[in-house]
Chain A
Amino acid sequence: MSEAPTTLLFFGRVGDRLGRERVLTSLDAATVGELRRTLAAADPACAILLDPTVRASVDRQVAGDEAPVRPGQEIAFFPPFSGG
Chain B
Amino acid sequence: MPATTRLEAGPLFPEVELARFLQGRDGEGAVASFTGLMRPTSKAGDPVETLELDWYPGVTEASIQAIAEDAAGRFEVGDVLVVHRCGTIRPREAIVFVAVSARHRRSAFEAADYLMDRLKTDAAFWKREDGATGSAWIEPTERDRADRARWPNDEHQE
Contacts and interface: CB of A to CB of B under 8 A. Distances in A.
Interface in A56-84: 57, 60, 76, 78-84
A12 interface: yes
A9 interface: yes
B56 A83 contact: no
Contacts of A84: 36, 53, 84, 95-96, 119-120, 123, 125, 127
Nearest to B148: A83
B84 A11 contact: no
A84 B126 CA distance: 8
Contacts of B56: 9, 11, 60, 76, 78
A60 B58 contact: yes
A37 interface: no
A12 B59 contact: no
B106 to A, nearest CB: 25
A16 B54 CA distance: 10
A81 B125 contact: yes
A82 B140 contact: yes
Contacts of A80: 139-140
